């Protein structure tokens, strides 16, 4: 396969914007798909805000910021992805949405060697591949939030993914984007979330049972286990809807009770209390960090 120069990112939320930024800063031509017409300006504002933050912190120069912005364009029409060589889906953690995206990408991406990746946290890669006529070119590329900071990418090949696809994806992620890869089997939760989510769910159950307050549980895990964040602050950062979605995916695959979402988590998601991105989760966050969220 020729050197990957043209990348597509489906979605421009927190993860999508982060992916667009790291690809643009790596010198790639980046096309970002937003959810509907009129949202292109929102996507550019999110990307610009992140780059401006990097400029203020001295991580990039003004010239680097401007060059990165110039490499990114936006669209609300996936048919514009026809010439992309590597596409990363970073939409909502809803299986039906992801299946529709992959079915559409399969029809519009012309290059038969193009790789279709998904940033899913938990859904089986084989199911995404099966809605395409190129399941051998479908791979899991699970980046971590914030994408611009955290170096890890879980690379997930399904039983249908070609070995060459995984090799090319790893070369791209490591040599072009500068990330560190771990390869994992196509199992719900992969490595990180298969270990992390039960821990977060256990913390919620400890709180629900009245053993300790949220603040004390967070403090205990930071000071007693040297964790950089406590489980409630981390859940808010991830997004409670994402925690719930991964929990349900793990439970559906393994049917073990400790994977099931606790009642408090489900009620909070139903109420639209999704964490930092909605301005309120287990903790409250400044108004400037809020975004409109449909409950």
258 is catalytic: no
- Cβ-contact 125, 118 below 8 angstroms: yes
CA atoms within 13 A on the CB side of 278: 22
Taking alpha carbons only, the member of 201, 106, 74, 93 closest to residue 142 is: 93
142 tagged catalytic: yes
Give CA–CA dist 67/86, Å, rounded: 21
- Spot the catalytic one: 122, 142, 235, 249: 142
121 is in an annotated binding site: yes
Distant-in-sequence, close-in-space partners of 151: CB < 8 Å, separation ≥ 6: 178, 179, 180
**Annotated active-site residue in 119, 154, 249, 278:** 154
Q: Considering the candidates 118, 121, 158, 247, report the single residue annotated as catalytic.
A: 121
- Is 57 labeled as ligand-binding? yes
Catalytic position from the list 122, 188, 193, 278:
193
Cα of 173 vs its chain's centroid, Å: 15
Please give the C-alpha separations between residue 22 and each of 9, 11, 105, in angstroms, as whole numbers. 11, 14, 22
The count of other CB atoms within 10 Å of the CB of residue 195 is 10
What residues act catalytically? 121, 142, 154, 193
* Known binding-site positions: 50, 57, 121
* Binding positions for CoA: 50, 57, 121
């Amino acid at each position: 396969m020729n050197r990957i120069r043209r990348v597509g990112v489906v979605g421009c939320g927190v993860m999508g914007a982060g992916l667009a930024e790291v690809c643009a800063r790596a010198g790639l031509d980046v096309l970002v798909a937003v959810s509907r017409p009129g949202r292109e300006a929102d996507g550019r504002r999110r990307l610009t805000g992140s780059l401006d933050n990097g400029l203020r912190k001295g991580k990039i120069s003004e010239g680097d910021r401007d060059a990165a912005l110039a490499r990114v364009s936006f669209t609300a029409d996936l048919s514009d992805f026809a010439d992309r060589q590597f596409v990363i889906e970073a939409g909502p953690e809803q299986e039906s949405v992801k299946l529709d995206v992959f079915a559409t990408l399969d029809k519009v991406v012309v290059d038969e060697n193009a790789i279709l990746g998904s940033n899913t946290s938990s859904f089986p890669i084989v199911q995404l591949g099966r809605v395409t006529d190129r399941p051998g070119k479908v791979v899991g590329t699970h980046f971590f939030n914030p994408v611009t900071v955290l170096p890890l990418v879980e690379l997930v090949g399904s039983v249908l993914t070609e070995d060459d696809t995984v090799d090319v994806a790893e070369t791209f992620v490591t040599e072009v984007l500068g990330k560190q890869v771990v390869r994992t089997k196509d199992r719900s939760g992969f490595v990180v979330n298969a270990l992390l989510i039960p821990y977060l769910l256990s913390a919620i159950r400890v709180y629900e049972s009245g053993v300790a307050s949220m603040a004390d549980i967070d403090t205990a895990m930071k000071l007693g286990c040297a964790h950089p964040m406590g489980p409630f602050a981390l859940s808010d950062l991830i997004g409670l809807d994402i925690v719930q979605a991964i929990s349900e995916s793990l439970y559906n695959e393994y049917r073990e009770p400790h994977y099931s979402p606790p009642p408090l988590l489900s009620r909070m998601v139903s109420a639209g209390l999704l964490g930092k991105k909605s301005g309120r989760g287990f903790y409250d966050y400044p108004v400037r960090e809020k975004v409109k969220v449909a409950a």
